[in-house]
Amino acid sequence: MTNQIPNIIIGRLPLYLRALIRLEKDGYTYASSRELGRMLDISAAQIRKDLSHFGELGKRGKGYEIDFLICKLNEILHTDNVWKIIVLGAGDLGSGLARYKGFVNRGFQVSAIFDVDPDKIGKMIGDLQVKDIKDLAVYVKENQIQIAILAIPAEFSQNIIDELVSAGITAILNYAPIYLKAPDGVRIEHIDPSVHLQKLSYFLK
């Protein structure tokens, strides 16, 4: 059944989860769809409709119990466990991601970082020692890694995808400024700061 839920709804669930975590930190117990809507610039009706796909999650008159909904959303998004992920590319961006503190309690942990550059291989980045990309396939298989972050130059990104996929990677988060074609059964998300900047420039004169 859940396979039928449109991607656009799935894409909003992590935003709901993030807003709920913020409310929980601020000491709230219940959240109404109206409050969530105000935080997220999404209509309350839309939020109620989105969440109704996953059962009766709210209580009439009280709203959503924050703890419960966080738990439920983590279950739905499969972040009730921690996914080990790998970073490809130990340049500026990859190093930043290997040290990034924003994965804690969100369901992800960078477990290895890879590069092709002999000057970078063996170097420590935070707690991680940069590995040779030659060892990628073995590492991915042994550690049953499914998610990779691409932080390599755009011109090399498409080529590495086949290698990643044949090693067992099925989900890719791409930071390079290039649109990558995903082979069957593989999903790719893009981090594109220009898209965010354009949402800001709309409001500027």
Q: Which residues bind a copy of itself (CB under 8 A)?
A: 6-8, 10-11, 13-15, 17-18, 22, 41-42, 76-79, 83, 85, 91-93, 95-97, 99-103, 106-108, 146-147, 149, 151, 154, 170-173, 176-177, 179, 187, 189, 191-205
Q: How many CB atoms lie within 10 A of CB 43?
A: 12
CB of 202 to a copy of itself, least distance (A): 5
Closer by beta carbon to a copy of itself, 136 or else 145: 145
Closer by beta carbon to a copy of itself, 64 or else 95: 95
* Distance of alpha carbon 19 from the chain centroid: 15
Closer by beta carbon to a copy of itself, 33 or else 95: 95
Closer by beta carbon to a copy of itself, 60 or else 203: 203
Alpha helices (H) in the chain, listed in sequence order: 7-25, 33-40, 44-52, 66-76, 92-99, 136-142, 154-167, 193-201
Residues with Cβ within 8 Å of residue 107, at least 6 apart in sequence: 74, 77, 78, 79, 80, 81, 82, 83
